[in-house]
Amino acid sequence: MARYIIGISGASGITLAHKTIDVLSSLGHQIHIVMTKDAFLTAIEEMGHEYSTPEKFLSFYKTDQLERIRMHKNNDFSSEIASGSYPIDGMLIIPCSMATLAGVAIGLSDNLLRRAADVTLKERRKLIIVPRESPFSAIHLENMLKITRVGGVIVPPIPAWYTKPKSLEDVENFIVGRALDALGVDANLYPRWGVN
pLDDT tens for 99-112 read 999 999 999 999 99
How confident is the model over 147-153, as a mean pLDDT? 98
pTM for the predicted model, two decimal places: 0.96
Residues 6 or more apart whose CB falls under 8 angstroms from that of 21 comprise 6, 31, 33, 61, 69
One-letter amino acid for residue 9 of the chain? S
**Residue 47 buriedness (CB in 10 A; 0-12 / 13-18 / 19+):** middle
How confident is the model over 119-130, as a mean pLDDT? 98
Q: What's the confidence (pLDDT) of residue 43?
A: 94
How confident is the model over 160-180, as a mean pLDDT? 96
Query: Rounded distance, CA 190 to CA 46, Å?
Result: 24
Query: Rounded distance, CA 120 to CA 141, Å?
Result: 21
Domains in the chain (CATH in brackets) are 3-183 (3.40.50.1950)
Q: What's the confidence (pLDDT) of residue 196?
A: 61
Q: What's the confidence (pLDDT) of residue 152?
A: 98
Is the distance from CB of 120 to CB of 5 less than 8 angstroms? yes
Q: Using 50, 70 and 90 to split pLDDT, how confident is the model at 179?
A: very high
pLDDT tens for 7-60 read 999 999 999 999 999 999 999 999 999 999 999 999 999 999 998 899 999 999
- What does the angle CA 162 – CA 163 – CA 168 come to, to the nearest 5 degrees? 120
Residues 6 or more apart whose CB falls under 8 angstroms from that of 132 comprise 11, 12, 13, 95, 96, 97, 157
